[in-house]
Structure 1
Amino acid sequence: MSLTPPADPHGQTDPAGPPSGDPAFANPAPRRPGAGAAIVVLIAIAGLVAILVAGYLAVSLGASVVVVGTLVALVPLAIVLFAVRWIDRWEPEPRWALWLAFLWGAAVSVAIALVVDLGVQLFAAFTSPDGATTDEALQAVVQAPVVEELAKGAGVLLIFLLARSHFDGPVDGLVYGATVAAGFAFTENVLYFGVALIEGGAAELGTTFIIRGLFSPFAHVLFTACTGVAIGFAARRGRGAGVITWFVIGLLGAILLHAFWNGSLAFADAFALYFTVQVPIFIAAIVVTVLLRREEQRVTRVRLSEYAAAGWFSQDEVDGLSTWPGRRAALAWARAQHPPRTPQVQRFIADATRLAFTRNVIATGRADVRRHEDERVLLEAVVRDRAAISG
């Protein structure tokens, strides 16, 4: 992969801009104020809720039990986050957005579920003549899917509204949905592992860990991914009220899949259904993820080729930036330099990829003034990146 600046028709390098008249270089309006402050406030609120949820668990289970449950729950969490990282490698999402997604799942979604469950239990106790509680199977198949998926899906939708420039399609929705789900499953696992330890000791904890931590660590990811991918398709197709329609469609899919999963555990032979139904669903999800990732590579090549035609990239750069072998070759070249230029090349790859996806939004008629501003900023960043690589 050539990392030198492409030459313009006059033999100069590092072109100053695209052909005149390109709408991306009209003076754009400033970004909507307040979004950054809202993000900071939401992360702070989610962090505070996380402290409250941790306190609730410590009071309910005991601090030592929570510590043990947390340590065990880190294993399935690491498995899920490793998979999310693999999905997110081509165009990584900003860390602040991923932190917000995780905290929303681990704290806010859990808090909503706990409050609703408490309300349902109190309502059942006051309305039943004998003070009976709600049916556990009904809770698992109806209440939990509806409340939990609505709480988690609201977090994905909120991230879409706050981070539109980082929410380009189904893969982004999958990443955010999976991260929210990973946070929720982590806290839920702490609770389940803690209860298992109290009720049955190490043996019961081991059984629960095998079932939840090894056999089904991706259960919540599969559910909430339906909502995230649906919002991602909405982001790709357009904006406005249509996003809510896609959100509802994805949410219904998440609720139905969650209810089916819980129902198979409550009413059927869970072991048999795991291999005959749940494993095929998981394999199908992997296939869809791989296809979506390939689509990301195709979009990168097509849109960067348009910039290459305008002189912003050489064809060698396009070939290198739009394939995994090309990126690996570029990073190998960067590591071999003295001094190494790995950070500069990584930044060049990241900026060029974001540029391609931003251009895709503009080219398909879905851009607002912020996207045009993003394109201008990213083109300037690409020029700086190339200069830094050249030393």
Structure 2
Amino acid sequence: MTSFEPPPGRRDPDVRSPQQANPSWLGQVQPQHYRPAPGPGHAPLQLPPGNRPDGFTRAQPVLPPAATAPRARASAGVAALVLGGGLLAFVSLFLVLPYLLENTGPGGFVVGFVASLLPLGSVLLAVRYIDRWEPEPKRLLLFAFAWGALVSVAVTMLIQPVFSLAAGPASGLDYRTFAVTVQAPVVEEFAKSLGLLLLLVFARKQFDGPVDGVVFAFTIAGGFAFTENILYFGRAIAGSSTPGTDLAVVFFLRGVMSPFAHAIFTGSTGLILGLAARRWHFGLTLVAFPVGLVPAMLLHSGWNSMGQDFFAQYLLVQVPIFLLAVLVVVLLRVAERRLTRQRLQEYAAAGWFTGPEVTMLATPAGRRSARRWARSIGRAQQMKAFLHAATRLAFIRQRILSGRDVPAHQLDEQQQLAEIRALRDAVLR
């Protein structure tokens, strides 16, 4: 792609040098892959006067007409993934639902279903928090949840007997110990993480970093835990002479003390797959799959191995693991914001944005200010779309700077710049 120098007077003095290409560990760029952001067209877009955020105080460039091809709604790979996932979930329902009803009874199933919504809600709120900066497509999150709640459960049910026959005798463990500490962690984490691998293969543009990996992993794990909780809660009702007491105990252990257990297990796999995806090397991502399963299986086995000293191990081991997971999520969000700001600054250096506009688009305070202003003029949805489009642009540039599939990503870049121009017009019209 031809690179243009910005017209005289367009480079903002507040914008740092684009050579500061590595703002955080999240988006390291090799010097040989770095290239300046493309320059804009020559005609400026004059913005109307009014009480606007600081980022909207100067003229903005217009994208050349040749680069305004419409963005496809979904790639063939994503469409196939969503369709195939929906079919698998539908088929899995005929295996999973009878199993749940057989073990819980109709009354236990209903109670278990309702009770399971509470821990599920906490996991989905965490997903929403992590995913706020660069939201994943809803269709992919729906695929992830359906995979976790139905397909991974069905895969687990089909694989467990085979795995037990093949590995049980060789383990030297009694059946219960083997089932709890070996079989469940290995089979369940493999089944859940298959969904992550499919997302990585078929939705590569949406799954290109550790934050995406954690978001998809938490969603899959939340779905799996939801179905598993229906079984445990419902069974506490169906097979007890004191159903209220037993349900309260099981709910406290699973819904209060450990709603994020499965999310943390599978989240470690998602984190490793996301780190590999950031390198944009297909072979590396495939190798990362078995590597990422190891910590998930170990964490799962460690959780299931807690016995009579459960509460001591919970406080001394599981709580620190949970706090470490929270710290990792916070660090990922900080790194994501820094990466967004640096990449948008590079577009600002080429003349696409002003310095104040980058601050508006790439900082939490700037976004809050922009949303407040947009709500005051009745254009909150347009502003939300504009902010998200700018974030996508930053991550498209990161993919360009990875050095792989550069022409395809540059086309995405031009389409995204056209979308940003249209969204800015929608906000300011």
TM-score, normalization: structure 1? 0.88
Q: Do the aligned residues in 2 keep the contact of 1:73 with 1:186 (CA within 8 Å)?
A: yes
Residues 269-298 of structure 1: per-residue CA shift (max 9 Å, x gap):
111000011000100110111001100000
Write out aligned runs for 1:348-363 (5 A): 348-363=386-401
Task: Report the alpha carbon displacement of residue 299 of structure 1 after superposing the two structures with TM.
Answer: 0.6
> Distance in 2 between the 1:310 and 1:285 partners?
38
1:158 to 184, 194, 198: 198
The one-letter code of the counterpart of 2:132 is R
In structure 2, the CA distance between the partners of 1:145 and 1:219, relative to structure 1 (3 Å rule), is same
2:144 to 94, 101, 109: 101
Match status 1:14 vs 2:66: no
User: Which secondary structure state, in structure 2, belongs to the residue aligned with residue 264 of structure 1?
Assistant: coil
Q: Do the aligned residues in 2 keep the contact of 1:5 with 1:14 (CA within 8 Å)?
A: no
> Distance in 2 between the 1:113 and 1:149 partners?
9
Tell me the C-alpha RMSD between the 2 structures: 2.6
> Distance in 2 between the 1:5 and 1:63 partners?
62
Task: Report the alpha carbon displacement of residue 313 of structure 1 after superposing the two structures with TM.
Answer: 1.3
User: Which secondary structure state, in structure 2, belongs to the residue aligned with residue 167 of structure 1?
Assistant: coil
Residues 293-349 of structure 1: per-residue CA shift (max 9 Å, x gap):
100000100000111111211211100111111100000001111xx0101100000
Would you say how many aligned residue pairs link Structure 1 and Structure 2? 370
2:278 is matched with which residue?
A: 236
Q: Do the aligned residues in 2 keep the contact of 1:4 with 1:386 (CA within 8 Å)?
A: no
Residues 32-86 of structure 1: per-residue CA shift (max 9 Å, x gap):
7454234223223223323541233123322221111000000100011111111
**Greater shift after overlay, 289-298 or 309-318?**
309-318
In structure 2, the CA distance between the partners of 1:141 and 1:50, relative to structure 1 (3 Å rule), is same
1:56 is matched with which residue?
A: 99
User: Which secondary structure state, in structure 2, belongs to the residue aligned with residue 146 of structure 1?
Assistant: helix
Task: Report the alpha carbon displacement of residue 121 of structure 1 after superposing the two structures with TM.
Answer: 6.7
In structure 2, the CA distance between the partners of 1:122 and 1:161, relative to structure 1 (3 Å rule), is closer
In structure 2, the CA distance between the partners of 1:124 and 1:93, relative to structure 1 (3 Å rule), is closer
In structure 2, the CA distance between the partners of 1:124 and 1:166, relative to structure 1 (3 Å rule), is closer
1:212 is matched with which residue?
A: 254
In structure 2, the CA distance between the partners of 1:330 and 1:298, relative to structure 1 (3 Å rule), is same
In structure 2, the CA distance between the partners of 1:195 and 1:378, relative to structure 1 (3 Å rule), is same
2:237 to 185, 191, 197: 197
> Distance in 2 between the 1:296 and 1:123 partners?
44
2:339 is matched with which residue?
A: 299
Q: Do the aligned residues in 1 keep the contact of 2:68 with 2:418 (CA within 8 Å)?
A: no
> Distance in 1 between the 2:57 and 2:382 partners?
14
Q: Do the aligned residues in 2 keep the contact of 1:171 with 1:292 (CA within 8 Å)?
A: yes
1:380 to 393, 415, 418: 418
Query: Which blocks of at least 5 consecutive residues in structure 2 are unaligned?
Result: 1-52
In structure 2, the CA distance between the partners of 1:214 and 1:57, relative to structure 1 (3 Å rule), is same
> Distance in 2 between the 1:36 and 1:3 partners?
36
Q: Do the aligned residues in 2 keep the contact of 1:121 with 1:134 (CA within 8 Å)?
A: no
**Greater shift after overlay, 54-63 or 273-282?**
54-63
Q: Do the aligned residues in 1 keep the contact of 2:85 with 2:146 (CA within 8 Å)?
A: no
TM-score, normalization: structure 2? 0.81
2:264 to 196, 215, 222: 222
2:316 to 276, 279, 285: 276
Write out aligned runs for 1:1-391 (5 A): 1-2=53-54, 4=56, 6-7=58-59, 13-17=60-64, 33=76, 35-119=78-162, 135-200=175-240, 201-265=243-307, 268-337=308-377, 340-391=378-429
Which structure has the highest helix share of the two?
1
User: Which secondary structure state, in structure 2, belongs to the residue aligned with residue 313 of structure 1?
Assistant: coil
In structure 2, the CA distance between the partners of 1:34 and 1:279, relative to structure 1 (3 Å rule), is closer
Q: Do the aligned residues in 2 keep the contact of 1:344 with 1:388 (CA within 8 Å)?
A: yes
**Greater shift after overlay, 145-154 or 53-62?**
53-62
> Distance in 2 between the 1:211 and 1:95 partners?
31
Task: Report the alpha carbon displacement of residue 249 of structure 1 after superposing the two structures with TM.
Answer: 1.4
Q: Do the aligned residues in 2 keep the contact of 1:106 with 1:186 (CA within 8 Å)?
A: yes
Q: Do the aligned residues in 1 keep the contact of 2:145 with 2:220 (CA within 8 Å)?
A: yes
Query: Which blocks of at least 5 consecutive residues in structure 1 are unaligned?
Result: 8-12, 128-132
